[in-house]
Amino acid sequence: MMISIASGKGGTGKTTVAVNLALSIPERGVQFLDCDVEEPNASIFLKPRIEETVSVSIPVPRIDQEKCDFCGECAKICAYHALAVLPKKVLVFPHLCHGCGGCSLLCPQGAITEQDREIGRVEIGHSNGIEFIQGKLNVGEAMPTPLIRVIKEKARRRGRWTNPASVTVIDAPPGTSCSVIEAIKGSDFCILVTEPTPFGLNDLILAVEVLKKLQVSFGVVINRSSMGDYRVDSYCQENHIPILLRIPFDREIATLYSQGIPIVQEKKEYIEDFRQMMDYIQELLPT
């Protein structure tokens, strides 16, 4: 089964929940996908041994200046303004290109071929028996979605994905954009992590909208639950959203986090909490 962990905003403890859940259910055979490719942080806690690195690129146009007659068709059709045609020259702006292939397909002179441009890397490895896959977007690149697609594709090719007993844990990017959707898509369940403050509530409401749109069932984890107010609780109650777990604020947890140490490694009592959360999720799912 596939469980994604998301939040309307970063910094709520999404990675903490994902990592600790993954570490608490070793008997399930866990696959961990860090799809937060702009800020992949799970490896700080899981310290995986990377065994394979895959470069991810998108195809960008290359103009054959011999064949080109500067008709301007490519610039006209490009939806991303990645091409500009001057009287005697074609300018390509590879950073704007989304790799749709329209220009090479439609150039009347057949003067456009495509070449790969790297936008990031996907790394595959293992950590404590967990199959680990993460994506890293190159700095200055604007398109996380293709990278997330490759992470999931790689995961799908591995046995654990299809084994119903095993669990694929996905650390999704924060927010409500298309990259979040790409990461959550296909999940059996989504855990939304929030904190009991007005910010937390505001961002939770946005995240709930995303999941309703995707029609994925979900529940909420309230992090730093001892520090804040009751508005998140009331909201969940009014909207019949199950609260899966509360993690109180604890300086020790904050310190462990700052050192890159998973909570369950040092505070074993939390293993049971995460296992119970997993059972609860299982109960919530249609059988």
Q: Which segment (24-32, 60-68, 126-134, 251-259) binds another protein by CB under 8 A?
A: 251-259
Question: Does 101 sit near another protein (CB under 8 A)?
Answer: yes
Question: Does 198 sit near another protein (CB under 8 A)?
Answer: yes
Among 210, 221, 222, 281, binds another protein (CB under 8 A): 210
Nearer to another protein, 33 or 210 (CB): 210
Amino acid at 51: E
| Residue 39 and residue 175 in contact, taking contact as beta carbons nearer than 8 Å | no
Number of residues that bind another protein (CB under 8 A): 56
Question: Does 41 sit near another protein (CB under 8 A)?
Answer: yes
Among 91, 106, 284, 285, binds another protein (CB under 8 A): 106
Question: Does 108 sit near another protein (CB under 8 A)?
Answer: no
CA torsion sign, 141 to 143 to 147 to 148? positive
Question: Does 229 sit near another protein (CB under 8 A)?
Answer: yes
CA torsion sign, 12 to 31 to 211 to 217? negative
Question: Does 228 sit near another protein (CB under 8 A)?
Answer: yes
Q: How far is the CB of 99 from another protein (least distance, A)?
A: 7
Amino acid at 112: I
Pairing outcome for strands 112-127 and 130-137: antiparallel
Among 109, 128, 197, 265, binds another protein (CB under 8 A): 197
Q: How far is the CB of 88 from another protein (least distance, A)?
A: 26
Question: Does 135 sit near another protein (CB under 8 A)?
Answer: no
Question: Does 144 sit near another protein (CB under 8 A)?
Answer: yes
Token duo for residue 91: 């300018």
Question: Does 102 sit near another protein (CB under 8 A)?
Answer: yes
- The residues of the shown chain that bind another protein, judged by CB under 8 A, are 8-12, 15, 38-39, 41, 44, 77, 79-80, 98-102, 105-106, 137, 139-144, 149, 173-181, 197-199, 202-203, 206, 209-210, 213, 227-229, 251, 254-255, 257-260
